[in-house]
Amino acid sequence: MDNPIQNSSFGLDFHHTGVLVTDIVSSLEHFSIVFGKESISEIYEVSTQKVKVCFIKNGENSFLELVQPLGDDSVVSKLLKKRISYYHVAYKVNDIHHTIENLEKINYKSLGLFNSEAFKGNLCAFMYSPDGHLIELIEN
């Protein structure tokens, strides 16, 4: 099978794994014991996604992102009801448009761009891999 992107790096830099929770505050009690209170970020509301998020540093450059839906109309509330908790992996990228274009060449499907308050308004995008895994891209 020919690779449509010969000798190209996608420039994906691992950032976090997204974890769904029903209540961030109560979940933080557990994570503050495991990783320490200093490892926990502030709680952000990402209005375009209808969620609250919080990051927990769990390695040198890696985080868990706790994601709480802000209502039944949040896309992730359906996943939580199905008891799906670990649901995406996120990567930092330098040029989100270029990365999306390259991933689409190998059959990734973009779910659209949005600005995230959790990343100072930077552009983000969710994409499905050809085998159905959800990734998030975060522009540096």
Q: Is the pLDDT of residue 1 over 50?
A: no
Q: What is the CA radius of gyration of the chain?
A: 16
Over residues 17-46, the pLDDT tens digits come to 999 999 999 999 999 999 999 999 999 999
Distances, alpha carbon 91 to alpha carbons 50, 96, 125, in Å: 21, 10, 10
Whole-number Cα distances in Å, 135 to 1, 37, 56, 131: 24, 27, 18, 12
Whether the CB-CB separation of 90 and 17 falls below 8 Å is answered with yes
Q: Is the dihedral of CA 130, 104, 80, 82 positive or negative?
A: negative
* pLDDT given for residue 71 in this prediction: 92
Report all structural domains of the chain as residue ranges with CATH numbers, in order of start. Answer: 13-139 (3.10.180.10)
Burial of 116 (0-12, 13-18, 19+ CB in 10 A): buried
Tell me the per-residue pLDDT of 72-125, one tens digit each, with 9 for 90 and over.
Answer: 998 899 999 999 899 999 999 999 999 999 999 999 999 999 999 999 999 999
- Beta-carbon contacts of residue 74 (< 8 Å; ≥ 6 apart): 49, 50, 51
Model pTM score: 0.88
